Amino acid sequence: MAVTVSLVALFGLVLFFLLRSKSLGYGAAFIAAGFGFFLASTGAAGPINQLATAVIDAIQQV
């Protein structure tokens, strides 16, 4: 659970800086946030969480 909260904070910061640098419009940010929200409620959420955990574990081993 702590990894998920950290990733949410990380992606939130990236989204904030993309909006601030005008690399991403508000409409696209809304769509990205909505997509993530709805993706989390599908069957794809489990494999995505497992993949993120595996990547984080691999980075820690390096």
Mean pLDDT across 21-28: 83
Residue whose tokens read 């997509």: 35
The answer, yes or no, to whether residue 12 has pLDDT greater than 80, is no
Mean of per-residue pLDDT scores for the chain: 80
Q: For position 46, what pLDDT does the model report?
A: 84
| Distance between CA atoms of residues 32 and 10, nearest Å | 14
pLDDT, tens only, 37-56: 777 777 878 888 888 889 88
Query: Confidence class of residue 4 from pLDDT cuts 50, 70 and 90?
Result: low
pLDDT, tens only, 14-23: 888 888 888 8
Q: Kindly state the tokens that stand for 32.
A: 């990205």
